[in-house]
Structure 1
Amino acid sequence: MNILILGATGFIGSVVAARLAADGHAVTGLGRNPARARLKQPAIDWRRADLSRMTKPEDWENLLKDRHAVVNCAGALQDGLSDDLAATQADAMLALYAAAKRPRPLIVQISARTAGAAGALPFLTTKRRADEALAASGLPHLILRPALVLGRNAHGGSSLLRALAAFPLALPLVHAESPVETLSVDDVAEAVSRAVAGDLRGDIDLAAGEVLTLAELVGLHRQWLGLPPARVFSLAPWLTRPVTWLADMAGLLGWRSPLRSTAMTVMSEGIRSAKRESGLGATSAAATLAANPSGVQDLWFAWLYLLKPLIISGLSAFWLLSGLIPLLSMERASTHFLPFMPEAAATALTLETCLIDVALGAAVLVRPLARRALLGMLAVSLAYLAGGSLLEPALWLDPLGPLVKVLPSVLLTLTALATLDER
């Protein structure tokens, strides 16, 4: 069969794409940035597309030609600079259903449980709008509602589980007693495979039979990472509001933190399924983790995951302050250049370098600009080191170490570049 997968570069989508390709289907994967996926999975025909801009039926017509099935693995948690929930999860899907009226491919929608405390939030209202439109469309379809999905890789909530599990000495958790059902990402791929084969239709919840508390699930991940047991400290939700607010602000700048308010609202009541009978099996959390033994890279990931926002914000503060502080005393700051140029030129050069520092410190906070900002930080740092070494080598012996301090900044910038990608 000829199958189109939306969100094929994501955590679930990449596994579904690999499974359907292994089943012998011709798979086309859609993603915003498929360049790396094209290298990792060359058997798949990769297309670049942004669902938030595909909100009219004509945007889908060419993509749907000769398709037998469309699998929607795309989604977002919360509106922000990188995500438009209404466009991606609702408008684009309604346009897809309208365009699919004539070719009538099977539509598999990876959705979520849309009732409960978070049911009124845009994350679930847009999902529900798409689900209801699909159910009423008359198209052959499967709406699959998995619980918390675990796998060899991690993204979003599963990444946060690993990071919390690696916390030193103790495990500070909010909603520690909230019930959580899980399943393996391979279970989702199996369900999609069966739907494509014609075995599944309708609206199905998918979860393993066990219900764990969040504390128990984090404990399982800690054991999986090879760390000794640690005491759980249950935190009152109000204590985490500053963190949630910061995560929401980061979302507006394009960062997709699992600590945003939508995720916290969902976790306040837990992640449960409706237990509809589907005839599908699902793998427990312990069995999922046991099937994928951890390596040292998983421990590094867990530790670095929570350090990453601190590294980015620390670099931002360093560059902003290095640019703003000299502006308070331009005359003094420009003295380094006076032996080599006139006073007016020295002042102008000082102002220029200050503005460059401030621009880089601000740009690194914006997710679409972060990589270019980090590369700019490296280039400017090396220029400062080279210029200082040539023009005023005595600065290396300065007690305040203005050149020496650039070196750890360079290392921190390299660390940020190495951990920047999310998938």
Structure 2
Amino acid sequence: MRILVTGASGLIGKALCALLTGEGHEVVRVLHHPDTGIHTETRAISLDMARALRPKDWTPYLAGVDAVVNCAGVLQDSAGENTRHVHMTGASALFIACEQAGVNKVIHFSAIGVDCQQPSAFSASKLAGDEALMARRLEWVILRPSVVLGRPAFGASALFRGLAALPLLPLMPDTGRLQVVQLDDVISTVLFFLKPGSPSRLTLELAGPVALSMSEVVGCYRRWFGWNHAREFILPNWTAAILYRLGDAAAQLGWRPPMRTNAAKEITRGAVGDPRPWMTATGIQPSSLPAALRLNPATVQERWFAGLYFVKPALFVVLPLFWILTGIISLTVGWRSGVDLLIGTAAGALAEPAVVAGALADIVVGTLIAWRPTSRLGLFGAITVSLFYAVAGSILRPDLWYEPLGPLLKIFPTLVLHFAALAILEER
């Protein structure tokens, strides 16, 4: 079959494309961002679902397609994401285009519980997308998974691992229970409904066999890592609210933190459902989280990832602040000190312009690192500027190498931090 998969770089979409390709299907991957060229065995289309809002935007890509699997989704509106456009308007345009192009089979991913409560724009737009598909004359299947966990570390799966690595476990207040579902079971479900003659016009909840608290889910991962139980405490409401707002702010800068205000609204509701219709329709027996983890023992890579999970946001807060504040200080209270450092050197005549140029370069580098689309460029810029300071300082003020506070020696740990940030920058 030729199968078009939207959201092909996400947790579900990426795993699905790999399995479909391995089984000999021709996969057309729809990606939000241009393809890196790694998966040359499959065709890739760079198309932002939030901008493909008309059926004709999809029509050119549906020629010869036998089935469509819509895995696209975003957690919250931000500078680069629009929940209604992705979940409803763009998805509806795709469904209409499928109907017009004769692509009858559409498997669509929604979210568990959206038909009961819509506490946020995420669930409200998901439900609207479901209703748009139900109105079409297609062989549709709507899958509403709970929190999907798997071997790949992304989204909630990554967050739970990061929390499991903390010696003290902070718990958000007012969190509901979760019937977490395994990625392998979700992928098996899609494969079942792609088979010829499989049932259609179904809406199924994909939920695990056991409802767990957030603490119990994290505890499963700690045992998987081989670590003892962590001491727990519930964060005050005001602290949790600040953390969610900080997540919102990070999203406006292009980052995708799992802890945002939409997530707060959704986890209060929880993610529980009835898996029996799913099991009856497909014959799949969903695995529990402990059973799934036992089949895949943790490796040193998983432990490294968990330990670095919260180091990453710390790096991308500290490094931009370091560069931006250094520039601001150089232009304000540290102006005289900066100029005096250059007086009497070969660059003494240009001391003031040099301080201004250095300060502006620092501010630009910090801003580039903070903005996710330019963060890689900013990190390389920071490394370049640091090396320039080391060389220029060695020529103009070699005495700074043996100053007690080590202003030039500190360039080396600074460089290491930037290379570490580069190493853990990518999330997919």
Question: Residues 285-300 of structure 1 correspond to what in structure 2 (within 5 A)?
Answer: 285-300=289-304
Following superposition, the deviation at residue 312 of structure 1 comes to: 0.9
Equivalents in 2 of 1:303, 1:81: separation in Å?
29
Q: Is the aligned partner of 1:336 residue 2:341?
A: yes
Q: TM-score, normalised by structure 2?
A: 0.93
**Cα offset, 1:421, TM superposition:** 0.6
Q: Which residue of 2 aligns with 1:361?
A: 366
* Whole-Å separation in 2 of the counterparts to 1:236 and 1:355: 40
Match for residue 48 of structure 1? 46
Paired position in structure 2 for 1:172 = 170
C-alpha distance 116-69 of structure 1, shift in aligned 2 (>3 A): closer
Q: Mean Cα displacement is larger for which, 315-324 or 275-284?
A: 275-284
Secondary structure in 2 matching 1:179: coil
User: Which is worse superposed, 214-223 or 288-297?
Assistant: 288-297
Partner Cα distance (2:347, 2:133) in 1: 71
Of residues 71, 89, 92, the one that matches 2:90 is 92
Range moving further from structure 2, 336-345 or 41-50? 336-345
- Counterpart Cα distance in 2 of 1:315 and 1:118: 40
| Shift in CA distance, 322/211, structure 1 to aligned 2, threshold 3 Å | same
Structure 2, unpaired ranges of 5+: none
Per the normalisation by structure 1, the TM-score is: 0.94
Render the CA deviation track for 1:11-65: whole Å, top value 9, x for unaligned. 11111112222232111111133544x42x4432222222122111111111011
- 3-state DSSP class of the match of 2:154? coil
The residue aligned with 1:108 is: 107
What SS does the aligned partner of 1:80 have? coil
Which deviates further from its counterpart, 89-98 or 322-331? 322-331
Structure 1 residue 205: Cα displacement: 0.8
* Partner residue, 2:217: 217
The letter for the 2-side match of 1:108 is I
Is the CA contact 2:343–2:349 (under 8 Å) kept in the aligned structure 1? no
Letter in 2 for 1:409: T
Aligned residue type for 1:400: L
Q: 1:346 aligns with which of 346, 351, 359?
A: 351
The aligned amino acid for 2:102 is: R
Contact 1:109 1:142 in 2 (8 A): yes
Q: Retained in 2: the 8 A contact 1:208–1:281?
A: no
Quick check: 2:114–2:124 contact (8 Å CA) kept in 1? no
Q: In structure 2, what is the equivalent of residue 67 of structure 1?
A: 65
Report the AA paired with residue 121 of structure 1.
S
Q: Which residue number in structure 2 is paired with residue 19 of structure 1?
A: 19
Read off the aligned partner of 1:58 and give its amino acid letter.
K
Q: CA deviation at 1:237?
A: 3.3
Give yes or no for the alignment of 1:316 onto 2:346. Answer: no
- Of 400, 406, 409 in structure 2, the residue corresponding to residue 401 of structure 1 is 406
After TM superposition, list the pairs within 5 Å mapping 1:80-229 onto structure 2: 80-105=78-103, 106-115=105-114, 119-168=118-167, 170-175=168-173, 178-198=176-196, 199-201=198-200, 202-229=202-229
What's the secondary structure of 1:62's corresponding residue? helix
Read off the aligned partner of 2:299 and give its amino acid letter: G
Relative distance call for 1:159 and 1:117 in structure 2 (3 A) is: farther
Residues 165, 200 of structure 1: alpha-carbon distance in 2 compared, 3 angstrom cutoff: farther
Q: 1:284 aligns with which of 288, 295, 310?
A: 288
**Secondary structure of the residue that 1:102 maps to in structure 2?**
helix
Identity across the alignment (%) = 35
Q: Does the aligned pair in 1 maintain the 2:207–2:274 contact within 8 Å?
A: no
- Structure 1 CA distance for aligned equivalents of residues 175 and 73 of structure 2: 27
CA contact (8 A) 2:3 2:66 kept: yes
- For residue 246 of structure 1, what is the aligned residue in structure 2? 246
In structure 2, do the counterparts of structure 1 residues 271 and 343 end up closer, same or farther at CA, with 3 Å as the change threshold? same
Cα distance in structure 1, aligned partners of 2:221 and 2:265: 22
Change beyond 3 A, Cα 1:213–1:28:
same
CA distance in 2, matches of 1:301, 1:118: 34
Partner secondary structure for residue 60 of structure 1: helix
* Preserved CA contact (<8 Å) 1:108 1:142: yes
Instruction: State the alpha-carbon separation in 2 of the partners of residues 97 and 274 from structure 1.
Output: 27
Equivalent residues of 1:29, 1:46 under 8 A apart: yes
Match of 2:417, SS?
helix
Which amino acid counterpart does residue 162 of structure 1 have in structure 2? R
8 Å contact kept, 1:51–1:92:
yes
Q: How many angstroms apart in 2 are the aligned matches of 1:188 and 1:83?
A: 25
Could you tell me how far apart the structure 1 residues matched to 2:347 and 2:169 are?
59
Judged with a 3 Å threshold, the aligned counterparts in structure 2 of structure 1 residues 197 and 154 are, in CA distance, closer, same or farther, namely: same
Partner of 2:421: 416
The amino acid that maps onto 1:2 is: R
Distance in 2 between residues matched to 1:117 and 1:109, nearest whole Å: 18
SS state of the match for residue 180, structure 1? coil
8 Å Cα contact 2:11-2:154 kept in structure 1: yes
Residue number in structure 2 paired with 1:380: 385
Q: 1:337 to 1:146 in 2, by over 3 A?
A: same
Pick which of 144-153 and 281-290 moved more: 281-290
